[in-house]
Structure 1
Amino acid sequence: MSTLGWAVAVRDRDHVRHLLQEYGVYAALVALFAISVGLDSSFLSVANVRIQLFQVSPTLLVALGMALVIGTEGIDLSVGAVIALSAAVVPLYLGWGLPVALLVAVLLGAVSGSVGGAMVAFTRTQPIVATLSLMIGVRGLAEIVNGDSAKPVTDAGLLALGSDSVAGVPLMAWITAACAVLTGLLVRRTTFGRRLVAIGDNRAASRLAGLPVRRILLTVYILSGVLAAVAGVMIVGHGAEADPANQGLNMELDAITAVVVGGTPLSGGRVRVLGTVAGALFMQLITAVLTQHNVPTSYTQMVEAAIICLAVYASQERGSR
C-alpha cells in the first residue's frame, strides 16, 4: 500500500472511530429499542413504558450529578448512601408537612456533598477515598436513623410524587427531564460550566489561570448530593416505604455506568449530558429486555460488565485523543 493510501485508510479509520465515540450510544439505543419491539410488541405498551420511566428516573437523576463530578476528573461513591439517608429522614419529618420533609432531605444531601467536596477541594484528598469513606459513614448513619426495619410511608403527597403522571408521563420523569435540561444549560451556557470542564481538563493550569477551583469543586459535589437526595425521595414515594438498608445500593455504580456509556470520559474535561440520558436509558433497556426474556441475573450482570468495559475503553481513546 502506498503512503497516500495508508494515510487515507488511517484517516477513514479515525473518522469511523470518531463517529462511534460521538454517536455510538444513540445508535445503540435506537437499535436496542427496535430489537426490543421486534421481540415483543407489547414493549411499546403504555404500561411498560411507564414502568421503564419509573425505574430509570432515579438512576438518571443521580447520573446527572455524577456526570458533573466526573467532568472535573472526580468520582462520587457516596450517592447511594445519600439516597439511603434521605429515604431515612423523610418519614421522620412528614408530620411537619411534606415541604419540610423534602427540605430536610435535600439539605442533608447538600451537607453530605459539601463534606465530600471539602475533602477533595481543600484537603486534596483523592475523590475515590473521600467519597468512599463518606459512603460508609452516611450509610451507617441512615440505618441508625431508620432503625432495624423498613418504615411504611402513607403521605398522599409523597406517594403522588412517586406514582402520579402528567399527560401520561410519570411525574418523576418530568422532574428528571427538567433537571437534565437545567444541567445541560449549566454545562454549556454558563461560566460555571466552562470552568468545570477546564478544571477537569487541567486542574493545575486552571488554578494558575486564577479560576476558583476549590469553589467549583465544592459546588459540583454539593449538586451531586442534592440530586441524589431528590432521587431518594422519589424512591421512597414510588415504593411507599423507607428502607435505607436496601435503597440506593449500587446506585453509584449504575450512575457511573450511565455516564461512561454516554460518552463522558473518566479523565474529565468533558460532560455529555444528553449522552448520559441516552446511557441511562440504554442500560435500563438492556436490563428490561433480558429480564423480560427470563435471562438469569448473573448473565445480565455479565452483559452489563462487557458493555462497561467497552465504554471505558472508548472513553480512554477519546480522552487520549
Structure 2
Amino acid sequence: MADAPSLTRGRAGPDVAAFFRRYAALAALIVLLAFNFAVTPHFVSLQTLNVNLTQVATIVIVSVGMTLVIATGGIDLSVGSLMAIAGALAPLIFLSPFGVAHPALGDLLAFVLPVAVVGLLGAFNGWFITRFQVQPIVGTLVMFIAGRGIGQVLTNGNLQVFHNPTFQFIGLGRVLGVPFQVIVMLVIVGLAAWTVRRTLFGRHILAVGGNERAARLAGVPVARVKRWVYAISGLCAGLAGLVVVSINSSSDANLVGLGMELDAIAAVAVGGTPFTGGQASVIGTLIGALLIQLLRYTLLANGVPDAAALVVKGVIIAGAVWSQQRGRTA
C-alpha cells in the first residue's frame, strides 16, 4: 500500500509535463499579451494589431508548408529562394508587353504562374530526395543555392519597381478592414489543420514521419506523400513571395525571402511540432509564429535593440527543442 502514492505521482508527472509542452507556447503568448497591455505604450490599437499581423502573415504561410514537411521527418531549406523566384516572375509577367496589352489576363497570370512554377520546383525537391534517397537537408540545399540564382538571372540582378493596384491587393488590400494577406493566412492555416486531422493524406503524412518503413509495409505511398508535401511547401512559399513583393511595390531577388527558412523552422519548433516527424501542429505553428513576432515587437517597443531580440529568439528555439527532447526521453 505504501507504494501506491508514488505510482500515482509517477503517472501524473508525465501527464503534467505533456500538458506543459503542448500549451507552453500558448501560455507564453498570453503572458506576453498581458505584459504588453500593461506596459507597452500604444499597444492597444488597431494600428499595432495590423502591424503585427501583416508582419507575421508571410511567415505563417511559409511555416504551414514547413510543418507538413517536418511532419514527414524532412526539412525544406529552399523556401526563401522559392519566394525570390515567385517574386521575380510576377512583375516580369504583368510588366511584359503581353501583360501591358492585356492587363486583366496579365494580372491573373502573375498570380497563378509564379506559384505554379515554384510548386513544381518544390515537387522537384521531393522527387530529388525520394529518387536518390538523399537527406532532405541536402536535397533542399540544392534549391536553396540555385533558386536564388534563378531569381537573379530572371531579373538580371536588377530591382523591379512597379505600381499595380490589382496585383498588389494580395499584400495591401483589405476586406471589411482586415488585411487580405491575413485572410489568406487564416484560410491556409484552416485548410492545413483540416487536412492533417481529417483526411487520409494527413494520416499518411503522420505515418511516414512516425515510421517510414512501417508506413511503406502498410501500403502508404511514401515517395508520393513526400513529393506532395514538398510541392505544398513550394506553393506556400510562392504565395508568400507574391505577398512580399506586392507590399514593397518592388521585387529584389537578392532580398525577397532572405532568411525565411529560418523563421519558418523557428515557428514550427516553438509551435511544438517535433523535428523527428510523426506529429504536426498547424495551430501550434501559428501560435509559435505569433509568439516570436510579438516578442520581437515587445523588445523593440521597450527599447531593446533588434540584435538582442535575435538572441532571445535563439534562446526560445533552443528551449523548444530541449522541451521536445525531454518529451521523447520521458
**Who is 1:246 aligned against?**
255
- The alpha carbon displacement at 1:15 in A equals 2.3
**Who is 1:220 aligned against?**
229
Do the aligned residues in 1 keep the contact of 2:89 with 2:110 (CA within 8 Å)? yes
Structure 2 distance, partners of 1:34, 1:48, is 15
**Who is 2:72 aligned against?**
72
Matched letter for residue 93 of structure 2 = Y
Structure 1 distance, partners of 2:130, 2:215, is 13
Structure 2 distance, partners of 1:320, 1:221, is 29
Q: 2:89 aligned with 1:89, yes or no?
A: yes
State the Cα RMSD in Å.
1.3
- The alpha carbon displacement at 1:90 in A equals 0.9
**Who is 2:119 aligned against?**
110
**Who is 1:160 aligned against?**
169
2:214 is aligned, of 205, 212, 216, to 205
TM-score normalised over the length of structure 2: 0.94
Do the aligned residues in 2 keep the contact of 1:265 with 1:319 (CA within 8 Å)? no
TM-score normalised over the length of structure 1: 0.96
1:1-321 equivalences under 5 Å are 3-95=3-95, 96=99, 97-320=106-329
Matched letter for residue 47 of structure 2 = A
Structure 1 distance, partners of 2:108, 2:324, is 41
Structure 1 distance, partners of 2:36, 2:174, is 24
- The alpha carbon displacement at 1:320 in A equals 4.5
Structure 2 distance, partners of 1:43, 1:109, is 37
Matched letter for residue 220 of structure 1 = V
**Most deviating of 32-41 and 256-265:** 32-41
Moved over 6 A (4+): none
- The alpha carbon displacement at 1:159 in A equals 2.0
Matched letter for residue 21 of structure 1 = R
Structure 1 distance, partners of 2:17, 2:270, is 15
**Most deviating of 109-118 and 289-298:** 289-298
Do the aligned residues in 2 keep the contact of 1:236 with 1:242 (CA within 8 Å)? yes
Structure 2 distance, partners of 1:260, 1:307, is 9
- The alpha carbon displacement at 1:3 in A equals 4.1
Structure 2 distance, partners of 1:148, 1:141, is 10
Do the aligned residues in 2 keep the contact of 1:267 with 1:319 (CA within 8 Å)? no
- Which runs of 5 or more residues in structure 1 are unaligned? none
**Most deviating of 15-24 and 263-272:** 15-24
Matched letter for residue 173 of structure 1 = V
- The alpha carbon displacement at 1:318 in A equals 3.1
Q: Percent identity?
A: 35
Structure 2 distance, partners of 1:291, 1:199, is 41
**Most deviating of 227-236 and 208-217:** 208-217
- The alpha carbon displacement at 1:208 in A equals 1.3
Structure 1 distance, partners of 2:146, 2:224, is 24
- The alpha carbon displacement at 1:134 in A equals 1.1
